[in-house]
Structure 1
């Protein structure tokens, strides 16, 4: 009986490990990605990369439903090896994603982390804090919203792939489990993806 229970526990952890290692974007969509084209390159000159597909990640800061579908405004986060948005770059950059299908606003709402595959459409200039801001624009192919970062942590650790709580001065929205920490900027999550800049 003990052996059977032990075997069940082992099987459970193997399944959990395999599930955690699965990429949120389908293999078919990832095969269409142009690996040498980066978001930074597209951000500088979108017209030079028209119709190329990229794998992108970030946090939604605005969602607009229109007659033709939905437009998401996203702050770019660099993905880790598992396809999880894990690194907020120093030069915070935004982009627009246009979906031909309606995206449920209760799922794709501001603060939600997403991983997506999108095709470069061009650029669009909008007002951002009373200033003109030019956004790279992508057509949505596939998207995955994260209910929460799939790896958790409370205390800071020294490694590129570990999340931790981040406190903000003067923030009244405190973590109920530890009053010295609060929600990570831009997101809804108590435990944030890491913001280390080291490359994998």
Structure 2
């Protein structure tokens, strides 16, 4: 009986721990960025936070490759606290750059796609951007969210008046049920 309780507790703890990891970003990066300042403060004084671990997200505005490096301009959006997915409907507090030491495909990381980024704030002089006014994050881990499908609006549009729909509902077609001509 004791081993049965131990097994039950073990599987229960695995289930609970597994339920906590719904973010595509690993727990170590989430923990490193847990005490990050607000995006408004980060973007106002980026040089004061060089080396700070951050977890940011948004919508890609532009993606460029140059000499084995990639640079993405991202419109910041706040992240959902449980999934780390950017909330696209929320207002933006600004823009930031994702700098990656490697090439990404600009067709895959195209304009309008949603992305979550984990990394460190770096000096603009390490990159090809030479302005100290931009927040630049060196991407250590990032996740491109799949496009969500929109609901289908291709249903039959009623062409009858409301009173006609009461007596004969939209989609009621007796000839398709076998009650066509001569059924009586």
TM-score by length of 2: 0.62
C-alpha deviations, 1:155-196, integer Å up to 9, x for none? xxxxxxxxxxxxxxxxxxxx8649xxxxxxxxxxxxxxxxxx
Matches within 5 A, 1:107-146: 107-123=108-124, 134-146=133-145
**2:102 matches 1:98:** no
Count how many residue pairs are aligned between Structure 1 and Structure 2: 134
The separation in 2 between residues aligned to 1:83 and 1:91, in whole angstroms, is 16
Q: Once the 2 structures are TM-superposed, how far is the Cα of residue 145 of structure 1 from its aligned partner?
A: 0.3
Partner of 1:85: 86
Structure 2 residue runs without a partner (length 5+): 1-14, 156-184
CA contact (8 A) 1:34 1:52 kept: no
Q: Which of the two has greater helix per residue?
A: 2
The separation in 2 between residues aligned to 1:52 and 1:91, in whole angstroms, is 21
Q: Once the 2 structures are TM-superposed, how far is the Cα of residue 29 of structure 1 from its aligned partner?
A: 1.7
Partner of 1:170: none
Give the match's secondary structure for 1:75.
strand
Q: Once the 2 structures are TM-superposed, how far is the Cα of residue 139 of structure 1 from its aligned partner?
A: 0.7
Matches within 5 A, 1:1-200: 22-81=22-81, 82-87=83-88, 89-90=90-91, 92-123=93-124, 134-149=133-148, 177=154
Give the match's secondary structure for 2:23.
coil
Q: Once the 2 structures are TM-superposed, how far is the Cα of residue 87 of structure 1 from its aligned partner?
A: 4.9
Q: Once the 2 structures are TM-superposed, how far is the Cα of residue 21 of structure 1 from its aligned partner?
A: 6.2
CA contact (8 A) 1:62 1:109 kept: yes
Partner of 1:183: none
The separation in 1 between residues aligned to 2:26 and 2:76, in whole angstroms, is 20
Structure 1 residue runs without a partner (length 5+): 1-14, 127-132, 155-174, 179-200
CA RMSD, 1 decimal = 3.0
Q: Which of the two has greater strand per residue?
A: 1
The separation in 2 between residues aligned to 1:89 and 1:27, in whole angstroms, is 25
TM-score by length of 1: 0.57
